[in-house]
Structure 1
Amino acid sequence: MTAVEELEQEAYDQNIPVDYVKFKSDHLHGLYIDGSIAIHSGLNAAQTADTLAEELEHHYTSYGNILNQHDTVCRKQEHLARLRAYDRRVGLSGIILGYRNHCHNLHELAECLEVSEEFLNEALECYREKYGCYTELDGYVIMFEPHLAVVEKL
């Protein structure tokens, strides 16, 4: 089962309709509104899965209309949904998986994790903000500065 199929199944199990539509703006990839998810129909599989994961997280964490990103409460809800989507699709364990699979650059890591490069870059920036220069997990040090690197602790 592909990532998109798994996420669609999760939406189905949660009684969340998912519709694929052509948005007027190519910048808008997805929208969660009134218990339904709309996904831009022109996205590739990785972008679709990235967007569907985020919109599902809006279902789990957001309330009300959060389109006004000048409002602090709306921004916080958006940030939480994105962080949870990044953790779901990338996560620190995904970065380690990429290291174990000998990924040498962000393009290879994105392919390994089946995420878009844009989504991966956003996730890494979010992790830099959350963890600072580095963090540790399961015997690995993941460094975010000056660039992404993973080192196995001895």
Structure 2
Amino acid sequence: MATFTQRMKELRREKNITLENLAKALNTTKSTLSRYENNLRTPNVDFINQLAKYFNVSVDYLLGNSDDKTFPDSKEDTPEEKISKLVKENKIRTLAAHFDGEDITDDDVEDIKNFIEFVVQKGRIKTNNLFSIRRDSMTYDELLEEVESQGIDVFEMNIGKHKGLYADNTIAVSKDIKTTKEKVCVLAEELGHHHKTSGEILGKKNINKIKQEKMARNWGYEKLVGIVQLINAFEKGIRSKHDLAEYLNVTEKFLEQAIQHYKEKYGVHYKIDNYIIYFEPTLFIAKMF
């Protein structure tokens, strides 16, 4: 499969454009483009989208994930199409409206979208009224409250070299952990043991124990670094790893491990609605219109 650097060179040569002229067209420098072509620097998501649009190819083709050059249709959906997508995405069985107008407008779409969100949230609260609808980040105190509402006791105590331990509805978090950000990551992983593992799994030499430990950690990654939360961060203009970790209230190490988990689970990229989340060569998100 071709790489980004190979595709960039091929497209530039097909269009018979020099690095200097391409740099002018993209409002960047010749040296920056040269680093991209020689794999000395990794482009960010904005540049990749800009380059794909310039050459009129798909992001997947540009990254070497597909041989289909087709650029996504940029035609905006009609209000009716937008509503159909909302119904499908939220799994609404019946949607009816009584209004005096004849044609559905974009303002109507926004009103219906808000109503659908209300219905979905109301259904979630009715199904499980123990928890509120989660925001994009969760503080240590909020997760602590959720854990305790499940009948699990949490203690901050001296547990030696361990950062967290779990046994029979009891979680211990090391009192030596300095930041609440790291505490929430540890607590999420230990909660993963409550939901996903059984038996004694201490030690790293037994394959079954290793698998169970990984299951618990993966549960924690998805709890604090959800796919939807990654998209919401992208929509808010968050791009750097540091800013993303701050937004999600997790450590950068935890964020890196979560991304690695998604890469193992989904592969190089994952498509959801009109977004493509790429986990390699670096995390970035492409939105298709």
TM-score (ref. length: structure 2): 0.50
Secondary structure of the 2:165 match is strand
Using the TM superposition, give the Cα deviation of residue 14 of structure 1 relative to its aligned residue in structure 2, in angstroms. 2.0
User: Aligned to 1:57, what secondary structure does the other structure show?
Assistant: helix
Match of 2:246 among 92, 100, 111: 111
Partner of 1:126: 261
After superposition, residues 1-154 of structure 1 pair within 5 angstroms as 3-25=139-161, 28-43=162-177, 44-154=179-289
Distance (whole Å) between structure 1 residues aligned to residue 160 and residue 171 of structure 2: 16
Any idea what SS the aligned residue of 2:271 has?
strand
What letter is aligned with 2:149? Answer: D
1 CA distance for matches of 2:247 and 2:214?
Answer: 25
| CA deviation vs aligned residue, 1:73-96 (integer Å, no higher than 9, x gap) | 211211111111111100111211
RMSD of equivalent CA atoms: 1.6
The count of residues paired between Structure 1 and Structure 2 equals 152
Q: Sequence identity of aligned pairs in percent?
A: 35
CA distance in 1, matches of 2:149, 2:239: 37
Which has the higher Rg, Structure 1 or Structure 2?
2
- Distance, in Å, in 1 between the alignment partners of 2:146 and 2:187 is 10
The structural deviation recorded for 1:34 is: 3.2
Question: Which digits, 9 at most, give the CA deviation of each residue in 1:105-143, with x for residues without a partner?
Answer: 100000011111111011011111111111111311001
Alpha-carbon distance, 1:48 to partner: 0.8
User: Shift of the alpha carbon at 1:104?
Assistant: 2.0
Asked which structure has the greater RCO (Cα within 8 Å, sep 6+), the reply is 1
In structure 1, what is the equivalent of residue 43 of structure 2?
none
SS at match of 2:155: strand
The amino acid of 1:129's aligned partner reads: E
TM-score when normalising by structure 1: 0.91
Higher relative strand content: 1
